[in-house]
Structure 1
Amino acid sequence: MSDFTQRFLFEDNDVRGEMVELDRSYAEVLAKHDYPEPVARLLGELLAAAALLGSTLKFDGLLVLQARSSGPLPLLMVECSSDREIRGIARYESDIGADAGGLRELMPEGVLTLTVDPKVGKRYQGIVSLDGDSLSACLSSYFALSQQLPSRFWLRADAGHARGLLLQQMPADRLPDAEARAASWEHVVTLADTLSDEELLGLDNQTILHRLYHQEEVRLFDAQPLQFACSCSRERSARALVSLGEVDARALLEEQGGEVTIDCQFCNARYQFDAADVIQLFAGGGTAEPSPTRH
């Protein structure tokens, strides 16, 4: 299994953790676009963050992390579904080179929006400024300031491998004393801070946990698989076309020479609709698949 999250639990204190490894799914995201290395690295870190959060939140729907800025990297967007399917995309200026710098340089005045969009129930959204040195720091600050569980992130991506570690302090149970809880939390976080980039990217989860917490009693749960998948479809593209209204859809059809093309920005899939398709859509005839001669 090359793409998975794996939970662990400290038996003697109120802290749980989650680790993520993304290889194939991250490689598939990168294969769709020719991203410069600094952009690919930040996108990989955001993919890892979404996978970690998606594994810890209880929801049936979609988790979206969207970072926007006024800089040379105006958009990073990652989605992770409750079905453990992940996808991501970046928008960047063409002159970004390998030495473009990190988060501060690429995404000045940036804002990260976290959205949980359940199939049933109320939508949740939180916003944090991208004023830290890394995505890990920004996400950790967000959870430190919010009313949610105290959480710390460690995220790394390099050469098609994305990794992440998340620690969360749980409600008081094993350690009801406030001072003991604070000391325990500081202890596990301080040890995690010693984890190098090379260790997080190169070692398996059991080895990492042993190196960090060999004096603690830690229970490691079974790995849960993840995969790249795009939620685009001909039907969803048709619904977007219908949402324009018949007059505007016909005008777009004429403007594009008799065939409307809708491209998925995540996976580069292309959906085409000719005049007959548009007539059928607004007549309530549904979205028949194109003939074998059309692509």
Structure 2
Amino acid sequence: MSDFDQLQRYLFNQANVRGELVRLNESLHQIVHNYEYPVQVQRLLSEMAAATCLLTAILKFKGEIGLQIQSEGPIRYAVINATDDYTLRGVARWDEELSSLPEQFEDLVHKAVLVITITPEEGERYQGIVALDKPTLAECIEGYFEQSEQLTTKVLLMTDLSQPEQTKAAGMLLQVMPTQASATNVQQDTGFDHLSTLTDTLSEDEMFSLPVQDILYRLYHQEEVEVYPPHAVKFACTCSRERSGEALRNIDKSELQQIIAEEGAVKMNCQYCHTEYRFDSIDVEAIHAGHFGETPSDQ
């Protein structure tokens, strides 16, 4: 459908609550099929991608945001990165010695944390750490906003993996918009609870089959809702030959030349998009001389 791979923002004017709805399809394909992930890993990456889009729309900055799970459970590591213009990339690592993975989120991650990293183009990098101690990823993100930001928040995450080549994910977010310091108090009557209850009535079938405007009407037709133009979401990797070359600057030149002598080139592969960058002896000399740029070497 045409309104997949878009994020829709809206505002409840009479309730002082903002909302977002995102649905992903094509933008997920390269993320979940980059490796032969078990379906449980695909589901988690899909949920994280939807959640990252929702957070990107809330945090007003130019730069990048990343959601990273670090765990001692069956899923060891999962990360989704997004830019302020809603490009996504992601990767995960799991215990491949297991014959099967559990289905429930809380069984997939043990002694786990979610690290939320904001890297603005200007200003200092910020990290927030969330304990993954609730039954779902959505509830863990809600807890982050309530405890760290003092903002009453509802997060809804859904996935549809019924068609392997058409993986879909969706997310909704409601959040109180404080007009004064006391407005962040979770007890304040903002109409939030009423809107949250309405949002909970949306089924997965409705989420993935109805147009966005029909979803909003179905849920909030008795509310005064201001809807903003949607933002397109797509997969894009930020890797480059220049960035890969810069990483080689920290490796001793003689070690790199030895690799070239044995293998013909230094090869670097992006874990997000599998692009391979190759560096020869001339490249290595330029890198360590500090003037590496575009070269005729093949990628």
Tell me, yes or no, if structure 1 residue 280 matches structure 2 residue 286: yes
Q: 1:252–1:107: structure 2 CA closer, same or farther, 3 Å change rule?
A: farther
Look up the equivalent residue of 2:158 and give its one-letter code.
R
Unaligned runs of at least 5 residues, structure 1: none
1:143/1:149 contact within 8 Å kept = yes
Return the offset for 1:92: 1.3
- Which of 167, 172, 176 aligns to 2:174? It is 167
The residue number in structure 1 matching 2:214 is 207
1:156/1:201 contact within 8 Å kept = no
- TM-score, L = length of structure 2: 0.89
Q: CA RMSD in A?
A: 2.4
Q: 1:179–1:273: structure 2 CA closer, same or farther, 3 Å change rule?
A: closer
Return the offset for 1:245: 4.2
In 2, Cα distance between equivalents of 1:172 and 1:27: 40
- TM-score, L = length of structure 1: 0.90
Counterparts in 2 of 1:1-295, with a 5 A limit?
Answer: 1=2, 2-95=4-97, 100-159=102-161, 160-172=167-179, 181-182=188-189, 184-250=191-257, 253=260, 257-291=263-297, 294-295=298-299
Unaligned runs of at least 5 residues, structure 2: 162-166
In 2, Cα distance between equivalents of 1:208 and 1:108: 35
The residue number in structure 1 matching 2:164 is none
Return the offset for 1:274: 2.0
Runs of 4+ in 1 over 6 A off after TM superposition: none
Q: Percent of aligned pairs with the same residue?
A: 39
In 1, Cα distance between equivalents of 2:276 and 2:88: 20
SS at match of 1:88: strand
Greater alpha carbon shift after TM alignment, 178-187 vs 272-281? 178-187
SS at match of 1:152: strand
Return the offset for 1:196: 2.3
SS at match of 1:117: strand
Q: 1:23–1:47: structure 2 CA closer, same or farther, 3 Å change rule?
A: same
Give CA deviations for 1:169-197 in whole Å, capped at 9, x if unaligned.
Answer: 00138xx8x89943611111122122222
Q: 1:64–1:84: structure 2 CA closer, same or farther, 3 Å change rule?
A: same
1:37/1:98 contact within 8 Å kept = no
